[in-house]
Chain A
Amino acid sequence: EDKVVQSPLSLVVHEGDTVTLNCSYEVTNFRSLLWYKQEKKAPTFLFMLTSSGIEKKSGRLSSILDKKELFSILNITATQTGDSAIYLCAVERAGNMLTFGGGTRLMVKP
């Protein structure tokens, strides 16, 4: 059975802190791993990772994939209150099917 597990379930930090969110997976026919940020409506796409060891970076956010150990991390440095959201990890399988993890709820306090 395909499975995507995110940890921690929730996290409370203060502005300026650095956070690391984890996503581990067990899926058949892996194609890519996606990270989304969900605040209000639709999750906003952040990164797509297909190759191990290559860091993707966008501003204070970065992510990397380890296809051998079957996990990915999402790092956020110098957190801001606007980073408060639910971060979703999803694995894309062959046939463009997605399996979502349960999400990590991040709260950044001033």
Chain B
Amino acid sequence: GAVVSQHPSRVICKSGTSVKIECRSLDFQATTMFWYRQFPKKSLMLMATSNEGSKATYEQGVEKDKFLINHASLTLSTLTVTSAHPEDSSFYICSARVVLGNEQFFGPGTRLTVL
């Protein structure tokens, strides 16, 4: 149980285009999902906390107009990187927290490459 999927696993796009990444909890309901970005030296940065049915809470320094997050249901959150630039190239990871729980379950990540 507690499986989180992300789609796509890899995406290559041209500069200026938008890319949508989906995060799904497959066998549980998640009121809260988190979006992370991995930086060099393996550190993970929390970008935003996504709550079902409400606006996402963005961390300081993360542009909400550039990284659009929608949490439309208890099993799906999407991250859209708008007008992507090469510096947005990274590994994006989501995690989902079980309703009434503290555990987070991580997705497999999405590798975004912007040319």
Q: B41 and A45: CB pair below 8 A?
A: yes
* Interface positions of B from 1 to 20, Cβ below 8 Å from A: 2, 9-10
The secondary-structure label for the interface of chain B is: strand
* Contact of A97 with B44 at beta-carbon distance under 8 Å, contacts A102-B2, A103-B103 already known: no
How far does the Cβ of A15 sit from chain B's closest Cβ, in whole Å? 22
Q: Which A residues are within 8 Å of any B CB, using their own CB?
A: 2, 34, 36, 38, 41-45, 48, 86, 88, 90, 92, 95-100, 102-103, 105
A-B contact pairs, 24 of them (CB 8 A): A34-B42, A38-B104, A41-B46, A41-B59, A42-B45, A43-B44, A45-B41, A45-B43, A45-B44, A86-B103, A86-B104, A92-B42, A95-B111, A96-B91, A97-B91, A97-B108, A97-B109, A97-B111, A98-B93, A99-B108, A100-B106, A102-B2, A102-B103, A105-B103
